Amino acid sequence: MKNSPHKGSLTIVGTGIKLSDHLTKESLIAIKNADKVLAVVADSATFHWLKSLNSNVESLQAFYGKEKDRLETYQQMIDTIAESVINGYKTCAIFYGHPGIFVLPSHEVIEKLQNLGYSAKMLPGISADACLFADLGVDPARDGCQSYEATDFLLFNRALDPSVACIMWQVGVIAEFKAKSVASNDKRFGVFVDELLKYYPKDHIVTLYEAAQFGIFDSKIIEVTIEKLRETKVSTISTLYIPPANKKRINHEIAKLLEVDTARFA
């Protein structure tokens, strides 16, 4: 919101996936210029690095709890960030990866503060799918790209188009809703694999992917058939990439209306 009469403000940024390497220049400026920095980062190395940029950094990791519902944790984060802004601080909230992807508190607190008349915005960051596209050599514009959170895909009867590439997020924590999630059990993951087999042949090759979090390591890339997924170890941060199994079909009626020569797609 421009020309806000309130002193406090909020800028939400993402660290990207790799420590320090993925932070954008505008995010770096926002961190350095903040009166208060509230960070949700999982490792101490990142936290100490942030402290070198701004001494007024506070961690929000303490809101997580092993048996605590994730929504309760998120609400505490929202309240803490909003309170900082309402108290007049130029606040920067930091989240891992892209701050708008799988980060419920960032969207909720921006909406809350904007409704109260405060300046609140989000800056883009590098996300896991951006790393996946680079590491696997995938162009999402070539065949299109479907994107689903695995539990959402199962619970809400989402449909898949096998001619379109697909990214399945959080395949290692299916139906886990605690703040400190553990890897999904074999039964839940088996339900997920069974559902995929309704759309793809069992020998279709997919990729389990984990983006490298530090520059000295490589990303984890495991190619396996869908049927063999059952026997493959999946971590809490695994993302599943499913390439197209079928060729895309041309709508000749539309092509004629657009005067497109379909021979170029042969």
pLDDT of 216 over the 90 cut:
no
| Token pair 């989240």 in the structure block, residue | 95
Residue 74 is among the residues annotated as catalytic for this protein:
yes
State what percent of residues in the chain have pLDDT above 90. Answer: 76
Its domain, for residue 87, covers 9-122
**Pairwise CA distance, residues 107 & 120, whole Å:** 10
pLDDT band at 5 (very low <50, low <70, confident <90, very high): low
Are residues 106 and 204 located together in one domain of the fold?
A: no
Q: Is residue 201 part of a domain?
A: yes
Q: Average of pLDDT values for 4-8?
A: 74
pLDDT at 191 (0 to 100)? 95
Single out the catalytic residue among 74, 89, 118, 209: 74
Tokens, residue 180: 């400190």
Q: Is residue 76 part of a domain?
A: yes
**Residue predicted with more confidence, 3 or 251:** 251
Are residues 110 and 143 located together in one domain of the fold?
A: no
| Token pair 């999402």 in the structure block, residue | 140
**Pairwise CA distance, residues 35 & 54, whole Å:** 9
Q: Average of pLDDT values for 181-198?
A: 85
Q: Could you report the per-residue pLDDT of 81-133, keeping only the tens digit for each?
A: 999 999 999 999 999 999 999 999 999 999 999 999 999 999 999 999 999 99
The overall average pLDDT reported for the chain is 92
**Residue predicted with more confidence, 214 or 249:** 249
pLDDT of 57 over the 80 cut:
yes
Q: Is residue 232 part of a domain?
A: yes
Residue 96 is among the residues annotated as catalytic for this protein:
yes
Q: Could you report the per-residue pLDDT of 123-174, keeping only the tens digit for each?
A: 999 999 999 999 999 999 999 999 999 999 999 989 999 999 999 999 999 9
pLDDT of 4 over the 70 cut:
no
What CATH number does the domain containing 192 carry? 3.30.950.10
pLDDT of 214 over the 80 cut:
no
pLDDT of 65 over the 90 cut:
no
| Token pair 């021979």 in the structure block, residue | 263
Q: Is residue 252 part of a domain?
A: no
pLDDT band at 181 (very low <50, low <70, confident <90, very high): low
| Token pair 């890339």 in the structure block, residue | 221
pLDDT of 180 over the 70 cut:
no
pLDDT of 1 over the 80 cut:
no
Residue 70 is among the residues annotated as catalytic for this protein:
yes
Burial of 104 (0-12, 13-18, 19+ CB in 10 A): middle
**Pairwise CA distance, residues 150 & 183, whole Å:** 13
What CATH number does the domain containing 70 carry? 3.40.1010.10
Q: Average of pLDDT values for 71-78?
A: 95
Counting other chains too, the contacts that 148-151 makes at CB distance below 8 Å and 24 or more residues apart are: 149/102, 150/174, 150/192, 150/240, 151/175, 151/176
Q: Average of pLDDT values for 12-30?
A: 91
Instruction: From residue 242, give the alpha-carbon distance in Å to each of 10, 22, 162, 205, 225.
Output: 37, 26, 9, 8, 10
pLDDT of 264 over the 70 cut:
yes
Single out the catalytic residue among 70, 188, 199, 230: 70
Single out the catalytic residue among 64, 89, 96, 199: 96
Q: Is residue 38 part of a domain?
A: yes
